[in-house]
Amino acid sequence: MTRYFRGEGFAWDDAPPAATREEAKAALIAAANAYAEQLRQIPPERLSGTVEWPFGTFPCSMAASLPVIELIHHRGQAVYLQSLLGDAEMHFAPME
* pLDDT tens digits along 3-23: 666 666 666 667 788 899 889
Q: In whole angstroms, what separates CA 11 from the centre of its chain?
A: 14
Total domain count, the chain: 1
Q: Give the tens place of pLDDT for each residue, 34-51.
A: 888 988 888 888 888 888
Q: Return d(Cα 67, Cα 86) in angstroms, integer.
A: 28
**Which structural domain, as residue segments, surrounds residue 75?**
18-84
Say if pTM beats, i.e. exceeds, 0.75. Answer: no
The answer to the question of residue 92 being in a domain is no
Q: Give the tens place of pLDDT for each residue, 63-88.
A: 888 888 888 888 889 889 989 999 98
Asked if 64 and 2 touch (Cβ cutoff 8 Å), the reply is no
The answer to the question of residue 2 being in a domain is no
The answer to the question of residue 5 being in a domain is no
